[in-house]
Amino acid sequence: MVNFIIGFMMFVGQSFDLCAREVQTIMVKLDGRLGGARRKAMDVELSCKVSDEVDEIMSLWKSTYDIWMEGQAKFHYHNLALVSGCYWNTVLQLYHGFVAHTTDASNEDHTSFEEIFSAIAVFCELALFVIVTSSTGESAQKVRYQLERILDLPDVDDRLVQNVERHILASLLNEKRLTIYHLVKLDRTALLQLFSSTILYLTIVIQFHKNFR
């Protein structure tokens, strides 16, 4: 299930990146036309063509964004279960790894090194999930940033400006923050929070272990 969610996020991220590259291509085309020697106003034909291309790109972007949000709604509980399971599995395995030397090694199925290595592997899987999810959200925002750069070009036709502004406003209104069951925001800052809380709870359980020996 984890691999499926990560694969889904990567596929959506690639679609967003494609939209961003197409918008960047349009911007380069406009910049080249407007950066000529005479720097005259853009003709109506080019304006209509670029406006249609922007409409097609944003239509693809919106469809991809809707699929992404629908997928997130379905994975809402799975995200919570995945993060919670990986998190507590990491804490417990690190705990067993660090306190293994205090018990009879002959009765242990795993060595201290194996427990710690397994915990690191689980945390890396959790980190990959958070990073891929965060990168997908960043890729979705790239399209809006590229559209905003078009507005900074000189001598852009007013109709094209209005169309681009309309798409930017629509993307802002449709933007939603990814969360883990409305508890934790899914971005790169969540990774630091998970790491720090893992160290905190690991310290607490080790202290309890020492006090109740």
Domain ranges of the chain: 2-211
Provide the pLDDT for residue 159: 81
* pTM, to two decimals: 0.72
Q: To which residue do tokens 């959200």 refer?
A: 137
Provide the pLDDT for residue 37: 42
Q: Is 167 exposed, middle or buried (0-12, 13-18, 19+ CB in 10 A)?
A: buried
Cα dihedral angle (24, 26, 29, 31), rounded to 10 degrees?
-70
Structure token digits, residue 21: 């590259």
Residue 129 has pLDDT above 70, yes or no: yes
Residue 1 has pLDDT above 70, yes or no: no
Find out whether 146 and 20 touch, Cβ atoms under 8 Å.
yes
Q: Give the tens place of pLDDT for each residue, 78-110.
A: 666 666 777 777 777 777 766 655 554 444 455
Cα-Cα end-to-end distance for the chain: 39
Q: Give the tens place of pLDDT for each residue, 184-194.
A: 777 777 777 77
